[in-house]
Amino acid sequence: LPILKEMTSFNEVINSYKEMDRYISHCEIGEKKNLFEIIDPAKSSVILIGPEGDFSSKEIKNAVELGWQEVSLGEQRFLA
């Protein structure tokens, strides 16, 4: 089951979890691999999913510079 933690600043999060596979999913146009094709279920992973309104371009750039992989969730969406 997922582990939910206290709210943490974005910068603190992207500078953490270096021992895990790290992914950032966002809606900006660009080269992104499909998460479901590259994730290894046998490994511990952290997946950042953009808030309503998505991550800013600067946030995405900062995460990628720190080794986070940009991914797409495909056409799957949560509907209310």
- pLDDT, tens digit, for every residue of 26-77? 989 989 999 999 999 999 999 999 888 899 999 999 999 999 999 998 876 6
Does this model's pTM top 0.85?
no
Query: What does the pLDDT read at residue 78?
Result: 61
Please tell me the distance from the alpha carbon of residue 33 to that of residue 35, in angstroms, as a whole number. Answer: 6
Q: Are 33 and 71 spatial neighbours (Cβ–Cβ below 8 Å)?
A: yes
Please tell me the distance from the alpha carbon of residue 25 to that of residue 16, in angstroms, as a whole number. Answer: 17
- What are residue 69's DSSP bridge partners? 23
